[in-house]
Amino acid sequence: MTDFDVIIRGGTVVTATDTMRADVGIRAGKIVSLSDKLTGAAKTIDASGLLVMPGGIDSHVHLAQPAFGGPAMADGFETGTRSAIAGGTTTVIPFALQPRGTSLRHAVTDYHREADGQSFCDYGFHLIISDPTASVLSQELPALVDDGYTSFKVFMTYDDLVLNDRQLLDVFSCARDCKALVMVHCEGYDAIKFMTERLESAGKTAPYYHALSRPESVEREATHRAISHAELTDVPIMVVHVSGREPMEQIRWAQNKGLKIYAETCPQYVALTADDLKGLNMDESGGKYICSPPPRDEQSWDAIWSGIQTGVFQTFSSDHCPFYYEGSEGKLNPKARTSFRWVPNGIPGVETRLQILYSKGVVEGRISVNEFVALTSTNHAKMYGLYPQKGSIGPGFDADIVLWDPSRREVISQSLMHHGADYTPYEGMAVVGWPVMTLLRGKVVAEDGRITGEKGDGQFLKRSLSPFAA
């Protein structure tokens, strides 16, 4: 009889608050002991020279979701979660999207069908509300929140998803009653439509014009509007995928005013720029980088870092929203070649999120390793009702762990990826720091680029209410 199923020996344990030399003892999928020296396990993993950190939690990924008005996604649950564990992420929170005119409960059932038995990592669902009818607001949402779907997402743009101001206010007010947390996509619908039509009539249809069709002012205006609606309805909100200084400053202003406005940013806003979208026509690679909000410029990177360093942002998520580049379902599909307007919006990134933040953040001296853990794991667990089951290393937490080689140098490339997409937007980026082993509830599910877990290892997570929504 051994005391532990697994001991992780000789590593440096890093949490959001502490860094310590300790062995980690695991039993029945849970961390049960942290101590100077542990013995007596069926399996011992040598972590000398490695950081032992909580598995990444990526609270913003899209899997098996029909495109925002276009082709099928490159990742369902099998490939998307396989990519997650290869990159050191052990929990993802994708979205169950309500198509207009349908019930949200049906949408949730459909997404469960996609995920159940297919997932390599644990998962929950946020609810995308595109049709806030009286019955959705008064019956479906309260019942779904009770069932563990404790966060919503609403859009201020996209033909099929946009909510008008009255609808936003109705959803915010419902969230206040249900104690759910609302994530808001802040870009103004009419301004984007106006700019898109103007650019197209001037023949400006190449991928780069996607960025010009939705400049930072469009995001700033919508961010301010969402904040004002949140203030009016007295409800906390999470502004997702913030791309640059102007929206960030709106959030900082609101936070300084005492409003409960939270914010997320993503790798593309510290690693890509609108120049990546440049290309004379669709055959050049610009379309690979089309996502919304679009990447801005290097001054925006500095602004985002200042927001990270001063606590404006609580979470760093991938916004993994993968489409193929080639082929009839890809960003180069025939209709998409006629204008940037038809290129599906989104890029893959669940597998490279941690490496980009570690390299640009910790290695380049912008954040501490403890802040890295907070931004990639702990804060997501706290924000979305998974704490203290997930998000740290200590007795009682699920043994979701990434062993991290802090000095390993790699160059990100499609050949290393496990996602379904046929490219990575970060191709050629040199990074320092790489995940070498991922454990999900005590089981080794990825090791040095090899997947050792199985489809179906991942479990659905019924989430508690967010303490940040209260």
Residues found near Zn ion in the complex (CB under 5 A): 185, 319
User: Phi and psi for 313 in degrees, rounded to 5?
Assistant: -100, 135
- Residue 319: CB minimum distance to ligand DUC, A: 5
Query: Cβ closer to ligand DUC: 125 or 387?
Result: 125
Pick out residues in 40-79 that bind ligand DUC (CB under 6 A): 62, 68
User: Phi and psi for 376 in degrees, rounded to 5?
Assistant: -105, -15
- Is residue 346 near ligand DUC by the rule CB under 6 A? yes
Q: Give the E-state strand segments of 126-224 in sequence order.
A: 126-128, 151-155, 181-185
- Is residue 341 near ligand DUC by the rule CB under 6 A? no
- Residue 298: CB minimum distance to ligand DUC, A: 22
Q: How many residues bind ligand DUC (CB under 6 A)?
A: 10
- Is residue 319 near ligand DUC by the rule CB under 6 A? yes
Residue 128: name the closest of 58, 89, 180, 179 by CA.
180
Is residue 264 within 8 A of residue 353, CB to CB? The reply is: no
Q: Give the E-state strand segments of 72-191 in sequence order.
A: 89-92, 95-97, 122-123, 126-128, 151-155, 181-185
- Is residue 288 near ligand DUC by the rule CB under 6 A? no
Is residue 144 within 8 A of residue 103, CB to CB? The reply is: no
- Is residue 321 near ligand DUC by the rule CB under 6 A? yes
Report the residue from 9, 105, 185, 418 that binds ligand DUC according to the rule CB under 6 A: 185
- Is residue 292 near ligand DUC by the rule CB under 6 A? yes
State the Cα–Cα distance between residues 115 and 56, nearest whole angstrom: 19
Residue that has been written with the tokens 């941690």 in this structure: 354
Query: Cβ closer to ligand DUC: 268 or 389?
Result: 268
How large is the greatest C-alpha to C-alpha distance in the chain, in angstroms?
75
Helix (H, G, I), strand (E, B) or coil at 415: helix
- Residue 348: CB minimum distance to Zn ion, A: 12
Residue 411: name the closest of 424, 429, 425 by CA.
429
Report the residue from 196, 250, 314, 345 that binds ligand DUC according to the rule CB under 6 A: 345
Pick out residues in 383-422 that bind ligand DUC (CB under 6 A): none
- Residue 326: CB minimum distance to Zn ion, A: 23
Cα 271 from chain centre: 15
- Is residue 241 near ligand DUC by the rule CB under 6 A? yes
- Residue 291: CB minimum distance to ligand DUC, A: 6
* Binding interface with ligand DUC (CB under 6 A): 62, 68, 185, 241, 291-292, 319, 321, 345-346
